[in-house]
Chains A and B, each alone.
Chain A
Amino acid sequence: MEPLISVKNLKKHFYVGEGVLKAVDGLSFDIYPGETFGLVGESGCGKSTVGKTIIRLYEPTDGELVYDGKDIYGLSRKEMQVIRKNFQMIFQDPYASLNPRMNVEEIVGEPLDIHKVYESKADKRNRIIELLELVGLNEEHSMRFPHEFSGGQRQRIGIARALSLNPKFIVCDEPISALDVSIQAQVGNLLKDLQDKLGLTYLFIAHDLSMVRYISDRVGVMYLGHMMELAKSEELYINPLHPYTKALLSAIPIPDPEIQKNRNRIMLEGDVPSPINPKECCRFVERCRYAIDKCSEETPEFKKIKEDHFVACHRVGVKYIEML
């Protein structure tokens, strides 16, 4: 299958007072049509920057993004606007991402206005109501303002807005992290339903690994701007290879007292180091219990270990799979 978008050697560096902050440093992956690609990692690992750079809210420092045979980073502003209809984003904070002075009809209708995709006012209104119904709201909500809604409902409004232009690809930047557990499940299921109905492709960014597993088909694990591991969702959770992925999975508490209290957990020492002026080596070397000299000398290559399973680690090879 041809990938829908193909990210090649994506880099985003920020120039800050102390040097270069390498938020994203050479990421390559493909996203196939109709799939959900999960991107996980701890705060500061660069996962949100990836999302924003992909839809060009940030200009990339280097790299290519191939969509429909074209590198969209090379397009002009005008050409970009046409393409952008296909790329939408759902944001994390349902309180900050909706304009408090606009009612729901105006919020959901704004993209329609910008791209002038309706013929008459009635046409536009019908489209808005159709969108609201699609996300589980209804016509009577259209005249209300964001403060009248709960967090879960606001997120639904954000989703309706993202869907208004019939996009092919949606970047979901932690869309459910700010919600309660029972509401998270509602919104998670809604995103899945919409995907089935409309044939959407998602880049799903999150730090909650257990939720990502439910939603994603493939999952990439990031650490300090590098991709550490990439595999099919089930494979990653059953058979994680990178020491960081293992530690991350082991840190998640399981809601069952008997299993949780008898679990053998891997504790990571220390914190995530600063992404400013990082050394050219494995980014995880300081916290890795399997580190050898080679790890602090050269950056491991992001290589295929088996079908659909990629890892960037010097110690993971045919010989070491058992050991790690």
Chain B
Amino acid sequence: MDNILDVRNLSVSFKTFFGEVEAVRDISFTVGRKQTVAIVGESGCGKSVTANSIMQLLPMPPAFFKSGKILFKGEDLLKRTDKQMEEVRSSQISMVFQDPMTSLNPTMKIGSQIVEGIQKHKNLSRRDAKKKAIEMLELVAVPEPEKRVNQYPHEFSGGMRQRVMIALAMVSNPELLIADEPTTALDVTVQAQILEIMKDIQEQMGMSIILITHDLGIVADMSDKVLVMYAGQILEEGLTREIYKNPKHPYTIKLLESVPRLDMARNESLHSIEGTPPDLYIPPKGCSFFDRCEFALKVCKDYMPQFHQHNKTHKSRCWLNHPMAKGK
């Protein structure tokens, strides 16, 4: 398949006073055209760092790229200058952030903010740009867009602001949209609206989406492919159906079990994963899930498992896949 993004062996670290934090450790994945790839994991697993690395929005220093390539349509983004990167950001890759309250400028009218975005990469007069801004607000289903363009962010609710953020991301007609927890700050009924809008826009404009979230329900709803991240690594990758119907890695299995589900009978207690994720100052030598895993073998402690390909699209990183572990 034609891949729009191809991340190869990416490692990102942060230099801090106490030492180096290895936030992302040797991850590789691809995003196909019109595909929605979800990155799931708990806080601190490196999912946002991955997203910000693609956009190169990480503050450097303290962050630095240790190794790897980020190929966007065959070209390595890490080799680009700041100026070239700005061009990519303004016209080819867009990002929607988690917090719609702080990502808009409170002193500028909504319309002016969108117009600014439009004029950055299109040679349009102010009047035409404003017309286009109204069109964009229509696209994200903001009611009464002619009136709304002249209002300030504080006159918008959380859900409406997130729509504006999506409109802003879409003005350049990007080929890739990175959505970093786009609905985490919103109520469930508003979340459902926003996700519906994102699906509609993808249908109309045909962009690829990288969706970062911790909510396994949203992943099931939106994505084609899932990457499960833990302690800076990808532990399992597969098509959404494969991950939910046939999870292979113990972490994925436990994570799916620990989510209470509305459509299932109520159990007496919830399945929890004991312990906490490891500290990435001193990442574990072996499997990063070792100390919380109930199936852990001796080998897991000191040796990092390699990916095992279950089929063409599904792979996981666990020693249990090894032929010698069959006897467990």
Contacts and interface: CB of A to CB of B under 8 A. Distances in A.
Nearest to A152: B276
A46 B272 CA distance: 30
Given A185-B270, A257-B241, A268-B193, A210 B262 contact: yes
A257 B193 contact: no
Interface in B123-171: 143, 157, 159-160
A242 B261 CA distance: 21
Nearest to A254: B263
Interface stretch (B1-9, B88-96, B183-191, B301-309): B183-191
B43 A42 contact: no
A249 B262 contact: yes
Contacts of A186: 272-274
Given A42-B189, A188-B270, A255 B258 contact: no
Contacts of B255: 181-182
Interface residues of B, number: 44
Contacts of A272: 157, 187
Contact of B191 (A153, A183, A247, A251): A251
A257 B22 CA distance: 33
Nearest to B224: A257
Chain A's interface size range is 35 or more
A131 B77 CA distance: 54
B220 A254 contact: yes
B193 A267 contact: yes
A57 interface: no
B259 A181 contact: yes
Contacts of A249: 262
Interface stretch (A31-39, A95-103, A118-126, A258-266): A258-266
B189 A214 contact: no
Contacts of B262: 209-210, 213, 237, 249, 252, 254
A254 B217 contact: yes
Contact of A213 (B192, B266, B272): B266
Interface string A212-252: 01100000000000000000011001000000000111111
Contacts of B196: 267
A138 interface: no
Contact of A210 (B42, B192, B254, B261): B261
Nearest to A186: B272
A271 interface: yes
B205 interface: no
Contact of A271 (B160, B244, B259): B160
A265 B192 contact: yes
B313 interface: no
B271 interface: yes
Nearest to A233: B266
A214 B260 CA distance: 7
Interface in B219-236: 219-221
A180 B188 CA distance: 17
Interface in B244-292: 244, 254-256, 258-263, 266-267, 269-274, 276
Nearest to A189: B269
B109 interface: no
B216 A255 contact: yes
Most buried by B among A209, A248, A252, A267: A252
Interface in B22-75: 42-43
A228 to B, nearest CB: 13
A81 interface: no
Contacts of B217: 252-255, 260
B263 A189 contact: no
Contacts of B261: 210, 254-256
A9 interface: no
A182 B191 contact: no
A182 B272 contact: yes
Interface string B178-214: 0000000001111111011000000000000000001
B218 interface: yes
B13 interface: no
Contacts of A257: 220-221, 240-241, 244
A141 interface: no
A267 B189 CA distance: 7
A252 B216 CA distance: 11
Interface of B: 42-43, 143, 157, 159-160, 187-193, 195-196, 214-221, 240-241, 244, 254-256, 258-263, 266-267, 269-274, 276
7 residue pairs, one from A and one from B, having the closest CB atoms: A253-B217, A185-B272, A182-B273, A42-B187, A185-B270, A255-B216, A180-B42
8 contacts: A43-B187, A185-B258, A209-B262, A210-B259, A252-B188, A252-B217, A256-B263, A268-B189
Given A153-B276, A255-B216, 7 more contacts: A185-B258, A213-B262, A254-B217, A256-B220, A267-B193, A268-B193, A271-B157
